[in-house]
Amino acid sequence: MANILGGIAVSHTPTIGFAVDHHKQQDPAWAPIFQSFEPLQRWLEEKKPDALVYIFNDHVTAFFFDHYSTFTLGIDSQYDVADEGGGPRCLPPVQGNAALSRHIGASLMADEFDMSFFMDKKLDHGLFSPLSALLPWDEAQGWPTAVIPLQIGVLQFPVPSARRCYKLGQALRRAIESFPEDINVAIVATGGLSHQVHGERCGFNNPDWDAQFVDMLVNDPEKLTEMTLGEYAELGGMEGSEVIMWLVMRGALSANVTETWRDYYLPSMTGIATLILENNARLPPRRYPDAPSPAYGAAAGRGGETAGNLSFYPRAQPEWLAA
């Protein structure tokens, strides 16, 4: 079975990608960003995850408001870099893991999350800005690990609640830990921290709230799920409310985690944070009284065994789908 190593949380401001592209490592104004990412780089190098489940939001680059989904999972084998107006960044495409993606998608749907799925979409700074600072890459060799992109629709209301994001993380854990291959997976959450880029509050930051949010994320995530989106916007700025995506990562981890790194830097418009959480326990996926019914498994899973049917599901299925 697949194993969740832990979780990483990072801001995804485009300034991170700018600093990478312009080699700002020694610039005093930019050096703290790179120093903040170094422990994350070392952690990923040490743990060597086979895949990253990467939680982010698009910025109306590939996902538009004419058909805007709440939770959208990439099921492709490769994801290219989007052109956000100045030409695409000189980064290689990141490789996916279609079998793992489709398994996760099947499990989340059976766990009563109405997912959308995408292929052939280029991804923007929400994914590639922090990724280019997290992992070594080479134009010829690409990236050292596969990425499973999970796009959260936080730009256009109605937006999923903090509680819904946390529950998605719990379902994501059940999905990953039921994948039959012996692989290691890390969860990466992006976004935030406090910032607002429109209206009279443009330029708003709240470092005190940023610190409190991370404290609660580590030690009392359930408390964060009780907050409304309005409260998140008031405390962290309208765009800063995207930190609810961090709750997806936290929900996918054990109740008690070990925090091995935390940092915060506010160079301009957005509070840039980095965080590493490691799982303290690995238990089999829980079965709930309202778990997917055998009828669902028969209809959705076994239908693929009928000659002439083209099933969404790969050969490896969650146990409760194959039962």
> Alpha-carbon distance 38 to 273, whole Å?
13
Residues 49 and 145 sit within 8 Å (Cβ to Cβ): yes
Tokens 């002439």 locate to 308
22, 23, 59, 195: which one is catalytic? Answer: 195
Token pair for residue 54?
């990467």
Do β-strands 51-56 and 184-190 pair in parallel, antiparallel, or remain unpaired?
Answer: parallel
**Six-digit token string for 84:** 């956000």
Helix axes 125-134, 14-21, angle to 10 degrees: 50
The token pair that represents 71 in the structure block: 């939770």
Which pair of tokens denotes residue 4?
Answer: 């969740």
**207-219 and 229-236 helices, crossing angle to 10°:** 140
The verdict on whether 195 is a catalytic residue reads: yes
Residue with tokens 């994948």: 179
Given the residues 12, 23, 59, 125, the one annotated as active site: 125
Instruction: Report, as residue numbers or ranges, the catalytic residues.
Output: 125, 195
